[in-house]
Structure 1
Amino acid sequence: SDAVLLTLAERQTRFEVILKLNGKDTESVDQAVQQLRERAGATFDQLFKTVTSDNGSEFSGLHDALKDVADVYFSHPYASWERGTSENQHKLIRRFIPKGSPISDVSENQILRIQRWMNDYPRKILGYATPHDTFVRAFKQARLVA
């Protein structure tokens, strides 16, 4: 099967993580989550308190993969409005990768550039601050409180 993108958006800051997966299956999603946990280290549970996913079968192992650090919620079938932030983030990604384009043709560097652009793009909902700056501020504040 063709490669796919797994996107994770931090709800309050709109900070986006985009991961390229080899396929649209449970094993690929679980492997990506595990790699993300390893990269984030001890901060993972501060970064991901909740995860909301759609009901695709590829996410069936998400609850088990994150049960010790995050609450996992699944949206209702055909209810994209329950994942509004993700849907809006996907529109931004489609500026660079049109729907239907093979993800296997997109390099990791291109994905990182898209992710960086999205996180440096000022958002009205953030008072025209960038997700990156808002995320850094929130993360520093959370570390001070903890």
Structure 2
Amino acid sequence: MGRRYPHLSLEERRKIAKWRDANILVPEIADRLGRAPSTIYRELKRNFYDDKELPELNGYYALNAQDMYEKRRALHRKMIMHPELKTAIEDRLKAGWSPEQIAGRMRLERHPIRVSHETIYRFAYSKDGRAEQFYRHLPEHRRRRRPRGHRRHNRTHIFDAQSLSHRPERIAERAEFGHWECDLMMFRKEHGKINVTSLVERVSRYAVVMRNEDRQSKPIMEALIRGLAPLPAGARQSITFDRGTEFSAWRRLKAGIGADAWFCDPQAPYQKGTVENTNNRLRKYLPRSTEPTALTNRYLRSICQRLNSTPRKCLGYHTPAEVFESKLMEIRNRLE
């Protein structure tokens, strides 16, 4: 078993303070306590009392050092001291918000008591958080924090398509509203051919989800046309796809709603990262094990409503619904 390095106790801090007053050198203090000299140097540096107004009081004091240590260790204690805060955070997590979204929205709304996303994570993985399995409410539901893996994509070619490299810069830089990204979400083969179209507007991150009975391209394009037709023309200018054969009937979009179609390079779905990111969020509600025949339009709309009412960091912690409605109002005002 590896050697453990427990934190300094109050009694040890009292000895450090007494021996420092006696001008005993740090290496000897470390030897007396059975600690590494670096531990003592770090302790003296981190918990040194510094009074700007009365510098003659500067120094290392055991009780003050212990208090500074406990405050640093108890960043997540705010969620323990304020049960109503923890309950509110837990409710948001259950609604699909991430810790970063919760913390950002608190800052935007100027809550009198608020926490950082790191505090939420620290609480979830602290002794108290683990005791109540708080980590189960986090987006990834993992016992430990770890980097995400990468999905593999196998896509075929679509010929005569407009390459993303020719897409105007204003679209690539999200400087213009009304440009969407589209993808299909598949389920396990034993559940049949039913799938879900995920559609996301690039500026507002507003999501729309639709059920498809199979992967035939014409019905998928017709569904896109029906879904976007009620919007003003300025809100449905183009859609970006990958090179899957389910999008081969892309020419119907121009005839149906006047929307252009852009295509990622072969084997490069990351070029439509907005919808890929949205798919990751949707998988919380639509895992691959989902029985797609049970998916109703009402349920899919409820998922979209939840995503679109969740604040996003990239939107200054406004929600996609708020930004989308604001952009629609701008278009309508220009038309009047």
| TM-score after normalising by structure 2 | 0.40
Contact 1:26 1:61 in 2 (8 A): yes
CA separation of 1:37/1:88 partners in 2, compared to 1, >3 Å: closer, same or farther?
closer
Contiguous gaps of at least 5 residues in structure 1: none
Contact 1:33 1:65 in 2 (8 A): no
1:29 to 199, 203, 220: 220
CA separation of 1:115/1:74 partners in 2, compared to 1, >3 Å: closer, same or farther?
same
SS at match of 1:20: strand
Specify the alignment match of 2:263 in structure 1.
Answer: 74
* Matched residue count: 142
Q: Confirm or deny that 1:136 pairs with 2:325.
A: yes
With 124-133 and 76-85 compared, the bigger mean Cα shift is at 76-85
- CA radius of gyration, larger in: 2
AA of the residue aligned to 1:47: A
Matches within 5 A, 1:91-110: 91-110=280-299
With 130-139 and 107-116 compared, the bigger mean Cα shift is at 107-116
**Structure 1 residue 57: deviation in Å?**
0.8
Q: Confirm or deny that 1:9 pairs with 2:200.
A: yes
1:127 to 307, 316, 336: 316
- CA distances 1:114-141 after superposition (whole Å, capped 9, x unpaired): 0100110100000000000100001111
**Structure 1 residue 9: deviation in Å?**
0.5
Specify the alignment match of 1:56 in structure 2.
Answer: 244
2: CA distance between counterparts of 1:107 and 1:144?
A: 35
**Structure 1 residue 25: deviation in Å?**
1.1
CA separation of 1:35/1:98 partners in 2, compared to 1, >3 Å: closer, same or farther?
same
Specify the alignment match of 2:274 in structure 1.
Answer: 85
**Structure 1 residue 84: deviation in Å?**
0.5
SS at match of 2:199: strand
1: CA distance between counterparts of 2:271 and 2:281?
A: 18
Contact 1:3 1:102 in 2 (8 A): no
| TM-score after normalising by structure 1 | 0.89
Specify the alignment match of 2:81 in structure 1.
Answer: none
1: CA distance between counterparts of 2:228 and 2:199?
A: 13
Considering fraction of residues, name the structure with more strand: 1
SS at match of 1:66: helix
**Structure 1 residue 37: deviation in Å?**
4.4
Contact 2:243 2:264 in 1 (8 A): yes
CA separation of 1:37/1:9 partners in 2, compared to 1, >3 Å: closer, same or farther?
closer
SS at match of 1:83: helix
- CA distances 1:82-107 after superposition (whole Å, capped 9, x unpaired): 01000010011101111243322322
Contact 1:2 1:102 in 2 (8 A): no
Task: Give the CA RMSD over aligned residues.
Answer: 1.6
Specify the alignment match of 2:36 in structure 1.
Answer: none
CA separation of 1:89/1:37 partners in 2, compared to 1, >3 Å: closer, same or farther?
closer
| Structure 1 runs, 4 residues or longer, greater than 4 Å off | none
What percentage of residue pairs aligned between the two structures are identical? Answer: 26
